[in-house]
């Protein structure tokens, strides 16, 4: 079935065709009809399979219809998301699909001033995309009223219902009408969170697609065993061998993100980083540069692993393995989106082996191993531009200096001992 044949407004059909969306993806095919009927839906589908449009299309269609009939104003739909970047991205999707309708979508998130957000809210909007913290603040201050909300959507639902967010979400839910539609979307979910999701809805939830393999089929992923200290040489090699490609590399901490950027710069590779320690305007700037391809290597912590849809990211590198096994799925899912194909490789150091075991347990299968021959491993270290600085000589020099200091100290101690005598 094509979107042409759907019972949705002509304006929405036109926008979909403009976006190049001809037929629905599996999750869109299964989720759109029950959402249109007003049912509660828990939808689990792999990364990059079009979950955003799966909820945006039916919600926009319904609101356009009710707008034309001049119903009362007020926010009708709230979409909660975990990150600021995702809030912006989802708002863009609603605006693109909703172009030509009179439905207004707007987003609020933390890390920027409230003033302009409040001014826009006063103009009146229909759909609000928000991160929970800022939404909670604006609701508490009386700038946002949620009593007209008909649909609540939790994107990246398992994450939204997890420890960091559940408190805000519970508080916000008490402000919503009891009679409402609730939609949960994610690529991953566990039993505990599923139970929690069920407890938040009145009617039984329909489960749509539940993939056996949580990693999207468009992603070719493997693991490579690399010593912790050699990871930068392997990243350098991946980058230089894929010079025309956009590469997203994930690291464990903010500090490591900065260190990897510096290590890449030393070997003549331009890289930028995104992590929670950055100002919001820098984060937006970094995303813009990476999206446009101005800078081809982005080093990220898990902040941007969820939901972000950047076109033509062809390579994901897990420079460090993710400590949360499900984040493996979200990280490698930044490539191979829509109809694109992607490659993901994880650098596993000996000390990370237990984490790898956890991830494989979570995936219920082993990750393909990319064997590195001893000579090839050595060649990678030699291949590095850093080798030109002859790091082995540098280390030797450092060791020699160390020995000289030791010798000097010993001499001093000896002469002191002599004096005492
Ligand atoms: P998910 O939330 O499932 O990870 P997104 O909603 O971010 O995925 O969509 C992934 C990509 O697929 C986006 O770039 C989007 O434009 C594209 N896409 C979504 N639906 C369709 C469709 N029906 N036809 C073609 N491309 C689509
Ligand atoms: Mg998504």
Same domain membership, residue 264 and residue 168: no
Q: How far is the CA of 309 from the centre of ligand 1 (A)?
A: 8
Q: Which of 155, 184, 208 is the last residue of a domain?
A: 208
Residue by residue, DSSP assigns 233-301 as HHHHHHHHHTTTSEEEEE-SSHHHHHHHHHHHHHTT---EEE-TTS-HHHHHHHHHHHHHTSS-EEEE-
Instruction: Please enumerate in sequence order all residues whose Cβ is within 8 A of that of 201, keeping only pairs 6 or more positions apart, or say none.
Output: 40, 182
What's the average model confidence in pLDDT over 305-309? 90
Q: How far is CA 158 from CA 184, 212, 395, in A?
A: 8, 17, 47
Is residue 350 in a domain? yes
> In terms of domains, do 327 and 366 share one?
yes
CB 346 within 8 A of CB 367: yes
% of the chain exceeding 70 in pLDDT = 91
User: CATH number of the domain that 203 lies in?
Assistant: 3.40.50.300
pLDDT of residue 396: 66
In a domain, 312, yes or no: yes
Q: What pLDDT is attached to residue 211? A: 66
Q: Is 15 in the pocket of ligand 1 (CB under 6 A)?
A: no
| Position 405 pLDDT exceeds 80 | no
pLDDT value at position 1? 87
Same domain, 186 and 313: no
Q: Which of 140, 173, 208 is the last residue of a domain?
A: 208
State which ligand 1 atom lies nearest to the alpha carbon of 27: 3
Whether residue 404 is contained in a domain is answered as no
Same-domain pairing of 239 and 161:
no
Predicted pLDDT at 204 = 64
208: left (phi over 0), alpha (psi -120 to 50) or beta: alpha
> If you measure from the C-alpha of residue 335 to the centroid of ligand 1, how many angstroms do you get, rounded to a whole number?
12
Do 185 and 304 lie in one domain? The reply is no
pLDDT band (50, 70, 90) for residue 305: confident
Average pLDDT over residues 211-222: 90
Q: How many domains does the chain have?
A: 2
Looking at residue 392, its pLDDT comes to 62
Which of 161, 176, 208 marks a domain boundary? 208
* Three-state DSSP state, 200: coil
> Is residue 417 assigned to a domain?
no
194 lies in the same domain as 223: no
User: Residue 418: is its pLDDT beyond 70?
Assistant: no
359-374 residue pLDDT tens: 999 999 999 999 999 9
Q: Where does the pLDDT of residue 156 fall: very low under 50, low under 70, confident under 90, or very high at 90 and above?
A: very high
**Is 395 part of a structural domain of the chain?**
no
- 128/70: higher pLDDT: 128
Residue 233: pLDDT band (50, 70, 90) is: very high
Supply the residue whose CA is at minimum distance from atom 24 of ligand 1.
21
CB 34 within 8 A of CB 12: no
**235, 371: one domain:** yes
Whole-number mean pLDDT of the chain?
A: 91
**Residues 113-140: pLDDT tens digits?**
999 999 999 989 999 999 999 999 999 9
Domain enclosing residue 132, as ranges: 3-208
- Give the residue-averaged pLDDT of 273-299: 94
Q: What is the reported pLDDT for 164?
A: 86
Tell me if 344 is assigned to some domain. Answer: yes
Confidence of residue 395 (pLDDT cuts 50, 70, 90): low
Q: Which ligand lies nearest to the CA atom of residue 208 in the structure?
A: 1
Our answer on whether the CB atom of 52 is closer than 6 Å to any ligand 1 atom is yes
53 touches ligand 1 (CB under 6 Å): yes
Q: Are residues 155 and 31 in the same domain?
A: yes
What is the pLDDT at residue 345?
A: 98
**E-assigned strands of 110-236?**
127-130, 151-155, 181-186, 206-207, 219-225
For the cut 80, the answer to whether the pLDDT of residue 411 exceeds it is no
Give me the mean pLDDT over the 344-349 stretch: 98
Cα–Cα nearest to 270, from 294, 287, 288: 294
Is the residue at 411 inside a domain?
A: no
pLDDT at residue 52 is higher than 70? yes
Does ligand 1 lie within 6 Å of residue 336's CB atom? no
163 pLDDT band, cuts 50/70/90, is confident
**pLDDT above 80: residue 170:** yes
Q: What is the pLDDT of residue 208?
A: 60
Residue nearest to atom 2 of ligand 1 (CA): 51
pLDDT greater than 60 at residue 210 = no
CA angle, 41 then 13 then 330, to 5°: 45
CA of 304 to the centre of ligand 1 (A): 17
Q: Is 283 in the pocket of ligand 1 (CB under 6 A)?
A: no
- Look at 170-179, 337-346, 366-375, 404-413 and tell me which has the smallest mean pLDDT: 404-413
- In this structure, the answer to whether residues 51 and 137 fall within a common structural domain is yes
pLDDT in tens, 318-338: 999 999 999 999 999 999 999
Residues 269 and 372 in one domain: yes
Domain match, 100 and 178 both: yes
Looking at the fold, whether 161 and 223 belong to one and the same domain comes out as no
Q: Residue 409 falls within a domain, yes or no?
A: no
């Amino acid at each position: 079935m094509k979107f042409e044949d759907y019972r949705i407004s002509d304006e929405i059909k036109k926008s979909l065709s403009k976006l190049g969306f001809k037929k629905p993806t599996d999750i869109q095919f299964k989720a759109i009809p029950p959402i249109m009927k007003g049912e509660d839906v828990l939808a689990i589908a792999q990364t990059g399979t079009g979950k955003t449009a799966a909820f945006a299309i039916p919600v926009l269609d319904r609101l356009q219809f009710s707008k034309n009939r001049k119903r009362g104003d007020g926010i009708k739909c709230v979409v909660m998301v975990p990150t600021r970047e995702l809030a912006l991205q989802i708002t863009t999707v609603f605006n693109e699909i909703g172009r030509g309708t009179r439905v207004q979508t707007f987003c609020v998130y933390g890390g920027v001033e409230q003033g302009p957000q409040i001014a826009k809210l006063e103009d009146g909007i229909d759909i609000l995309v928000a991160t929970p913290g800022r939404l909670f603040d604006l609701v508490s201050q009386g700038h946002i009223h949620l009593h007209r909300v008909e649909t609540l959507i939790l994107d990246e639902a398992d994450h939204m219902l997890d420890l960091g967010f559940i408190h805000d979400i519970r508080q916000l839910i008490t402000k919503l009408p009891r009679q409402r539609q609730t939609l949960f979307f994610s690529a991953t979910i566990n039993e505990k969170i599923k139970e929690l999701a069920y407890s938040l809805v009145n009617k039984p939830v329909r489960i749509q697609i539940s993939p056996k393999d949580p990693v999207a089929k468009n992603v070719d992923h493997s693991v490579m065993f690399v010593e912790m200290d050699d990871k930068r040489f392997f990243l350098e090699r991946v980058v230089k061998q894929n010079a025309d490609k956009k590469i997203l590399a994930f690291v464990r901490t903010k500090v490591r993100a900065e260190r990897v950027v510096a290590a890449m710069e030393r070997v003549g590779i331009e890289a930028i980083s995104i992590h929670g320690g950055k100002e919001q305007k820098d984060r937006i700037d970094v995303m813009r540069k990476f999206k446009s391809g101005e800078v081809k290597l982005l080093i990220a912590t898990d902040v941007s692993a969820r939901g972000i849809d950047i076109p033509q990211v062809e390579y994901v590198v897990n420079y460090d393995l993710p400590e949360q096994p499900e984040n493996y799925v979200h990280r490698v899912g930044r490539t191979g989106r829509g109809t694109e194909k992607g490659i993901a490789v994880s650098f596993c150091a000996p000390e990370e082996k237990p984490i790898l075991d956890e991830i494989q347990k979570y995936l219920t299968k082993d990750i393909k191993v990319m064997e590195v021959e001893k000579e090839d491993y050595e060649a990678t270290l030699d291949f590095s531009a850093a080798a030109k600085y002859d790091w082995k000589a540098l280390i030797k020099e450092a060791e020699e200096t160390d020995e000289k200091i030791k010798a000097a100290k010993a001499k001093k101690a000896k002469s002191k001992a002599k004096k005492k005598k």
